[in-house]
Structure 1
Amino acid sequence: MHRLATLLFFLAAAPLSAGERVAFFGITLLDDTVQTAQGNEAEQERARMLETLVTERFAAEGYELVDIAPVQDKLDRVVNPAKCNGCDARMAGELGADFALVGEVQKVSNLILSMNLQLRDAKSGETIKGRVVDIRGNTDESWSRGMRYILKTAFFPE
Protein backbone atom coordinates (compact mmCIF):
# COMPACT_ATOMS: atom_id res chain seq x y z
CA MET A 1 0.00 0.00 0.00
CA HIS A 2 2.89 2.34 0.78
CA ARG A 3 4.25 1.85 -2.77
CA LEU A 4 0.88 2.79 -4.27
CA ALA A 5 0.70 5.94 -2.14
CA THR A 6 4.23 6.88 -3.20
CA LEU A 7 3.43 6.24 -6.87
CA LEU A 8 0.28 8.36 -6.69
CA PHE A 9 2.28 11.16 -5.03
CA PHE A 10 4.79 11.22 -7.89
CA LEU A 11 2.05 10.95 -10.50
CA ALA A 12 0.32 13.95 -8.96
CA ALA A 13 3.55 15.93 -9.16
CA ALA A 14 4.02 15.34 -12.91
CA PRO A 15 3.27 18.57 -14.77
CA LEU A 16 0.80 18.82 -17.61
CA SER A 17 0.84 21.49 -20.26
CA ALA A 18 -2.23 23.48 -21.19
CA GLY A 19 -3.16 23.13 -24.85
CA GLU A 20 -2.58 19.38 -24.92
CA ARG A 21 -5.34 17.24 -26.38
CA VAL A 22 -7.38 14.94 -24.14
CA ALA A 23 -9.85 12.23 -25.19
CA PHE A 24 -12.29 11.88 -22.31
CA PHE A 25 -14.15 8.57 -22.44
CA GLY A 26 -16.49 9.38 -19.59
CA ILE A 27 -17.32 7.98 -16.18
CA THR A 28 -18.33 4.32 -15.92
CA LEU A 29 -20.73 3.37 -13.14
CA LEU A 30 -20.04 -0.04 -11.59
CA ASP A 31 -22.80 -1.19 -9.26
CA ASP A 32 -21.68 -4.05 -7.00
CA THR A 33 -24.96 -4.08 -5.10
CA VAL A 34 -27.80 -6.45 -5.88
CA GLN A 35 -29.97 -3.52 -6.93
CA THR A 36 -29.10 -3.00 -10.61
CA ALA A 37 -26.28 -3.66 -13.05
CA GLN A 38 -25.98 -0.04 -14.19
CA GLY A 39 -27.26 1.91 -11.20
CA ASN A 40 -30.51 3.78 -10.95
CA GLU A 41 -31.42 6.88 -12.95
CA ALA A 42 -30.25 9.22 -10.16
CA GLU A 43 -26.82 7.56 -10.23
CA GLN A 44 -26.67 7.73 -14.02
CA GLU A 45 -27.44 11.45 -13.74
CA ARG A 46 -24.69 11.83 -11.13
CA ALA A 47 -22.22 10.15 -13.50
CA ARG A 48 -23.22 12.67 -16.21
CA MET A 49 -22.80 15.46 -13.64
CA LEU A 50 -19.24 14.25 -12.95
CA GLU A 51 -18.50 14.11 -16.69
CA THR A 52 -19.59 17.72 -17.02
CA LEU A 53 -17.53 18.74 -13.98
CA VAL A 54 -14.40 17.03 -15.40
CA THR A 55 -14.93 18.39 -18.91
CA GLU A 56 -15.45 21.94 -17.68
CA ARG A 57 -12.41 21.82 -15.40
CA PHE A 58 -10.06 20.48 -18.09
CA ALA A 59 -11.35 23.09 -20.56
CA ALA A 60 -10.95 25.86 -17.96
CA GLU A 61 -7.34 24.74 -17.43
CA GLY A 62 -6.65 25.12 -21.16
CA TYR A 63 -6.85 21.54 -22.40
CA GLU A 64 -8.47 20.71 -25.70
CA LEU A 65 -11.05 17.96 -25.33
CA VAL A 66 -11.24 16.04 -28.59
CA ASP A 67 -14.44 14.73 -30.12
CA ILE A 68 -14.65 10.98 -29.49
CA ALA A 69 -17.39 10.39 -32.11
CA PRO A 70 -14.95 8.88 -34.67
CA VAL A 71 -14.25 5.96 -32.27
CA GLN A 72 -17.76 5.71 -30.78
CA ASP A 73 -18.44 2.35 -32.47
CA LYS A 74 -15.34 0.88 -30.79
CA LEU A 75 -16.21 2.54 -27.48
CA ASP A 76 -19.73 1.08 -27.61
CA ARG A 77 -18.20 -2.41 -27.57
CA VAL A 78 -16.25 -1.70 -24.37
CA VAL A 79 -17.90 -2.29 -21.01
CA ASN A 80 -15.44 -0.15 -19.07
CA PRO A 81 -12.86 2.04 -20.86
CA ALA A 82 -10.88 2.33 -17.62
CA LYS A 83 -10.18 -1.40 -17.69
CA CYS A 84 -9.91 -2.46 -21.32
CA ASN A 85 -6.24 -3.42 -21.60
CA GLY A 86 -5.20 -0.08 -23.05
CA CYS A 87 -7.99 0.37 -25.57
CA ASP A 88 -8.56 3.88 -24.17
CA ALA A 89 -5.00 4.94 -25.01
CA ARG A 90 -5.20 3.34 -28.46
CA MET A 91 -8.49 5.12 -29.23
CA ALA A 92 -7.04 8.41 -27.95
CA GLY A 93 -4.08 7.91 -30.28
CA GLU A 94 -6.43 7.31 -33.22
CA LEU A 95 -8.10 10.62 -32.38
CA GLY A 96 -4.79 12.48 -32.33
CA ALA A 97 -5.03 13.13 -28.60
CA ASP A 98 -2.05 13.31 -26.29
CA PHE A 99 -3.92 11.63 -23.43
CA ALA A 100 -6.83 9.32 -22.65
CA LEU A 101 -8.94 10.26 -19.62
CA VAL A 102 -11.19 7.66 -17.98
CA GLY A 103 -13.13 7.47 -14.76
CA GLU A 104 -15.16 5.09 -12.65
CA VAL A 105 -17.55 5.17 -9.75
CA GLN A 106 -17.89 1.81 -8.03
CA LYS A 107 -20.92 1.50 -5.80
CA VAL A 108 -20.34 -0.98 -3.00
CA SER A 109 -23.46 0.11 -1.12
CA ASN A 110 -25.53 3.26 -0.71
CA LEU A 111 -23.05 4.35 1.94
CA ILE A 112 -19.72 3.30 0.40
CA LEU A 113 -18.57 4.28 -3.09
CA SER A 114 -15.15 4.44 -4.70
CA MET A 115 -14.32 6.97 -7.39
CA ASN A 116 -11.30 7.26 -9.65
CA LEU A 117 -10.00 9.30 -12.56
CA GLN A 118 -6.98 8.27 -14.62
CA LEU A 119 -5.03 10.15 -17.30
CA ARG A 120 -2.93 7.94 -19.60
CA ASP A 121 -0.38 8.78 -22.25
CA ALA A 122 -1.91 7.97 -25.65
CA LYS A 123 1.37 6.67 -27.06
CA SER A 124 2.65 4.50 -24.22
CA GLY A 125 -0.56 3.79 -22.28
CA GLU A 126 1.31 4.75 -19.12
CA THR A 127 -0.75 6.35 -16.35
CA ILE A 128 0.41 9.97 -16.01
CA LYS A 129 -1.93 11.11 -13.27
CA GLY A 130 -4.64 9.50 -11.27
CA ARG A 131 -6.36 9.25 -7.95
CA VAL A 132 -8.82 6.98 -6.22
CA VAL A 133 -11.01 8.21 -3.38
CA ASP A 134 -13.66 6.55 -1.28
CA ILE A 135 -16.75 8.59 -0.60
CA ARG A 136 -19.48 8.12 1.94
CA GLY A 137 -23.02 8.73 0.86
CA ASN A 138 -24.82 8.36 -2.44
CA THR A 139 -25.80 11.98 -3.05
CA ASP A 140 -25.08 14.66 -5.62
CA GLU A 141 -23.03 16.50 -3.01
CA SER A 142 -20.85 13.53 -2.02
CA TRP A 143 -20.18 12.59 -5.66
CA SER A 144 -19.25 16.12 -6.72
CA ARG A 145 -17.13 16.65 -3.59
CA GLY A 146 -15.22 13.43 -4.34
CA MET A 147 -14.49 14.40 -7.95
CA ARG A 148 -13.53 17.98 -7.04
CA TYR A 149 -11.07 16.50 -4.52
CA ILE A 150 -9.54 14.27 -7.22
CA LEU A 151 -9.21 17.19 -9.63
CA LYS A 152 -7.76 19.48 -6.97
CA THR A 153 -5.23 17.06 -5.49
CA ALA A 154 -4.14 14.91 -8.42
CA PHE A 155 -4.63 17.00 -11.54
CA PHE A 156 -4.69 20.70 -10.75
CA PRO A 157 -3.10 21.36 -7.35
CA GLU A 158 -3.19 24.98 -6.30
Structure 2
Amino acid sequence: MRVFPAFAILLVLTVFAAADEFAPGSKVAFLGLTFIDTSTEGAYNGVRADEAKRLTLLENLVEDRFRKEGMVLMDLAPISETLENTVNPANCYGCEVRMAKTLGADFVLVGVVQKVSNLILSMNLVMRAVETGKVARARVVDIRSNTDQSWTRGMNYILKTAFFKE
Protein backbone atom coordinates (compact mmCIF):
# COMPACT_ATOMS: atom_id res chain seq x y z
CA MET A 1 0.00 0.00 0.00
CA ARG A 2 2.91 2.39 0.62
CA VAL A 3 4.06 1.95 -2.97
CA PHE A 4 1.08 3.84 -4.42
CA PRO A 5 1.69 7.18 -2.59
CA ALA A 6 5.38 7.06 -3.50
CA PHE A 7 4.51 6.27 -7.12
CA ALA A 8 1.93 9.07 -7.23
CA ILE A 9 4.45 11.60 -5.89
CA LEU A 10 7.05 10.44 -8.40
CA LEU A 11 4.52 10.74 -11.23
CA VAL A 12 3.56 14.30 -10.21
CA LEU A 13 7.21 15.36 -9.98
CA THR A 14 7.92 13.83 -13.39
CA VAL A 15 5.00 15.70 -14.97
CA PHE A 16 6.14 19.02 -13.46
CA ALA A 17 9.74 18.41 -14.53
CA ALA A 18 8.64 17.51 -18.06
CA ALA A 19 6.69 20.78 -18.35
CA ASP A 20 9.97 22.71 -18.17
CA GLU A 21 11.87 20.37 -20.52
CA PHE A 22 12.40 21.33 -24.09
CA ALA A 23 12.72 19.11 -27.12
CA PRO A 24 12.99 19.51 -30.88
CA GLY A 25 9.99 21.47 -32.11
CA SER A 26 9.79 23.63 -28.97
CA LYS A 27 9.06 27.27 -29.75
CA VAL A 28 11.78 29.54 -28.35
CA ALA A 29 11.69 33.33 -28.19
CA PHE A 30 15.35 34.34 -28.24
CA LEU A 31 15.38 37.98 -27.16
CA GLY A 32 19.10 38.35 -27.76
CA LEU A 33 22.11 39.12 -25.63
CA THR A 34 22.81 42.29 -23.69
CA PHE A 35 26.33 43.70 -23.33
CA ILE A 36 27.09 45.42 -20.03
CA ASP A 37 30.44 47.15 -19.74
CA THR A 38 31.36 47.83 -16.12
CA SER A 39 35.04 48.27 -16.92
CA THR A 40 36.93 51.52 -16.50
CA GLU A 41 37.69 51.41 -20.22
CA GLY A 42 33.98 51.38 -21.05
CA ALA A 43 33.30 54.28 -18.71
CA TYR A 44 35.87 56.42 -20.54
CA ASN A 45 35.63 55.23 -24.14
CA GLY A 46 32.08 53.92 -24.59
CA VAL A 47 31.09 51.05 -26.86
CA ARG A 48 33.84 49.35 -28.87
CA ALA A 49 33.03 48.21 -32.40
CA ASP A 50 34.80 44.86 -31.98
CA GLU A 51 32.74 44.01 -28.89
CA ALA A 52 29.50 44.95 -30.67
CA LYS A 53 30.50 42.58 -33.49
CA ARG A 54 31.27 39.84 -30.97
CA LEU A 55 27.82 40.20 -29.43
CA THR A 56 26.28 39.68 -32.88
CA LEU A 57 28.64 36.74 -33.42
CA LEU A 58 27.36 35.11 -30.21
CA GLU A 59 23.71 35.78 -31.02
CA ASN A 60 24.18 34.10 -34.41
CA LEU A 61 25.99 31.20 -32.74
CA VAL A 62 23.11 30.67 -30.28
CA GLU A 63 20.46 30.93 -33.00
CA ASP A 64 22.33 28.50 -35.26
CA ARG A 65 22.76 25.96 -32.46
CA PHE A 66 19.10 26.11 -31.42
CA ARG A 67 17.99 25.65 -35.03
CA LYS A 68 20.48 22.79 -35.49
CA GLU A 69 18.92 21.08 -32.45
CA GLY A 70 15.46 21.39 -34.00
CA MET A 71 14.07 24.30 -32.01
CA VAL A 72 11.70 26.79 -33.64
CA LEU A 73 12.90 30.36 -33.11
CA MET A 74 10.00 32.77 -32.93
CA ASP A 75 9.66 35.87 -35.10
CA LEU A 76 10.12 38.86 -32.76
CA ALA A 77 8.36 41.39 -35.02
CA PRO A 78 5.14 41.50 -32.92
CA ILE A 79 7.13 42.56 -29.84
CA SER A 80 9.86 44.57 -31.58
CA GLU A 81 8.79 47.93 -30.12
CA THR A 82 8.60 46.57 -26.56
CA LEU A 83 11.92 44.78 -26.98
CA GLU A 84 13.58 47.89 -28.39
CA ASN A 85 12.46 49.87 -25.33
CA THR A 86 13.76 47.25 -22.90
CA VAL A 87 17.30 47.98 -21.72
CA ASN A 88 18.06 44.45 -20.56
CA PRO A 89 15.52 41.67 -21.22
CA ALA A 90 17.50 39.42 -18.87
CA ASN A 91 16.75 41.75 -15.96
CA CYS A 92 13.29 43.26 -16.43
CA TYR A 93 11.12 41.74 -13.72
CA GLY A 94 9.51 39.10 -15.90
CA CYS A 95 8.96 41.20 -19.02
CA GLU A 96 10.83 38.58 -21.05
CA VAL A 97 8.28 35.93 -20.10
CA ARG A 98 5.39 38.28 -20.89
CA MET A 99 6.88 39.11 -24.30
CA ALA A 100 7.39 35.40 -25.07
CA LYS A 101 3.83 34.65 -23.99
CA THR A 102 2.60 37.27 -26.48
CA LEU A 103 4.47 35.37 -29.20
CA GLY A 104 3.04 32.00 -28.16
CA ALA A 105 6.47 30.62 -27.30
CA ASP A 106 7.13 27.64 -25.05
CA PHE A 107 10.42 29.11 -23.77
CA VAL A 108 12.15 32.46 -23.61
CA LEU A 109 15.92 32.74 -23.93
CA VAL A 110 17.99 35.73 -22.82
CA GLY A 111 21.62 36.34 -22.01
CA VAL A 112 24.18 38.83 -20.81
CA VAL A 113 27.85 39.40 -21.50
CA GLN A 114 29.40 41.57 -18.79
CA LYS A 115 32.81 43.08 -19.28
CA VAL A 116 34.55 43.54 -15.95
CA SER A 117 37.88 44.43 -17.55
CA ASN A 118 39.54 43.80 -20.89
CA LEU A 119 40.78 40.52 -19.43
CA ILE A 120 37.75 39.34 -17.42
CA LEU A 121 34.29 38.85 -18.86
CA SER A 122 31.27 36.95 -17.62
CA MET A 123 28.55 35.54 -19.82
CA ASN A 124 25.28 33.86 -19.02
CA LEU A 125 22.36 32.35 -20.85
CA VAL A 126 18.99 31.67 -19.21
CA MET A 127 15.97 29.88 -20.61
CA ARG A 128 12.62 30.05 -18.82
CA ALA A 129 9.46 28.06 -19.41
CA VAL A 130 6.85 30.61 -20.48
CA GLU A 131 3.98 28.76 -18.82
CA THR A 132 5.57 28.72 -15.36
CA GLY A 133 8.25 31.42 -15.56
CA LYS A 134 10.67 28.96 -13.99
CA VAL A 135 14.24 28.52 -15.16
CA ALA A 136 14.50 25.49 -17.45
CA ARG A 137 18.20 25.85 -18.30
CA ALA A 138 20.90 28.30 -17.28
CA ARG A 139 24.65 28.64 -17.06
CA VAL A 140 27.17 31.35 -16.25
CA VAL A 141 30.83 31.25 -17.24
CA ASP A 142 33.71 33.61 -16.74
CA ILE A 143 36.14 33.94 -19.59
CA ARG A 144 39.61 35.38 -19.83
CA SER A 145 40.61 37.39 -22.89
CA ASN A 146 38.47 39.68 -24.99
CA THR A 147 38.68 37.97 -28.40
CA ASP A 148 36.31 36.31 -30.85
CA GLN A 149 37.80 32.95 -29.89
CA SER A 150 37.33 33.38 -26.12
CA TRP A 151 33.75 34.66 -26.48
CA THR A 152 32.85 31.81 -28.84
CA ARG A 153 34.49 29.22 -26.61
CA GLY A 154 32.59 30.53 -23.58
CA MET A 155 29.18 30.42 -25.29
CA ASN A 156 29.85 27.01 -26.81
CA TYR A 157 30.68 25.74 -23.32
CA ILE A 158 27.36 27.10 -22.00
CA LEU A 159 25.42 25.48 -24.83
CA LYS A 160 27.25 22.16 -24.51
CA THR A 161 27.04 21.78 -20.75
CA ALA A 162 23.66 23.27 -19.86
CA PHE A 163 21.47 23.19 -22.94
CA PHE A 164 22.44 20.43 -25.34
CA LYS A 165 24.37 17.34 -24.33
CA GLU A 166 26.86 16.45 -27.06
**TM-score normalised per structure 2:** 0.84
Deviation at 1:98, TM superposition (A): 0.4
Aligned match of 2:35: 29
Deviation at 1:16, TM superposition (A): 2.1
Q: Alignment RMSD, CA only?
A: 1.5
Is the contact between residue 23 and residue 95 of structure 1 (CA under 8 Å) also seen in structure 2? yes
- Identity over aligned residues, as a percent? 54
- Picking from 57, 71, 81, the partner of 2:89 is 81
Task: Name the CA distance, whole Å, in 2 between partners of 1:75 and 1:34.
Answer: 28
Q: Secondary structure at the match of 1:123?
A: coil
> Hey, which bits of structure 1, 4+ residues long, moved more than 2 A?
34-39
Q: Secondary structure at the match of 1:57?
A: helix
Aligned match of 1:54: 62
What aligned pairs does 1:64-79 form with structure 2 within 5 A after superposition?
64-79=72-87
Task: Name the CA distance, whole Å, in 2 between partners of 1:16 and 1:51.
Answer: 20
Larger Rg: 1 or 2? Answer: 2
Q: Which amino acid aligns with 2:86?
A: V
Deviation at 1:34, TM superposition (A): 2.6
Uncovered stretches (5+) of structure 2, i.e. residues with no partner? 1-16
Deviation at 1:15, TM superposition (A): 4.2
Matched, 1:116 2:116: no
Q: Which moved more, 1:76-85 or 1:137-146?
A: 76-85
Uncovered stretches (5+) of structure 1, i.e. residues with no partner? 1-10
Deviations 1:71-130 (A, max 9, x none): 011111111000001100110000010011001100000000000000011122111100
Equivalenced residue count is: 146
Is the contact between residue 40 and residue 117 of structure 2 (CA under 8 Å) also seen in structure 1? no
Q: Secondary structure at the match of 1:143?
A: helix
Aligned match of 1:6: none
Is the contact between residue 114 and residue 135 of structure 1 (CA under 8 Å) also seen in structure 2? yes
Task: Name the CA distance, whole Å, in 2 between partners of 1:51 and 1:24.
Answer: 9
Aligned match of 1:147: 155
Task: Name the CA distance, whole Å, in 2 between partners of 1:122 and 1:16.
Answer: 11
- Picking from 63, 70, 75, the partner of 2:71 is 63
**TM-score normalised per structure 1:** 0.88
Q: Which amino acid aligns with 1:111?
A: L
Matched, 1:99 2:103: no
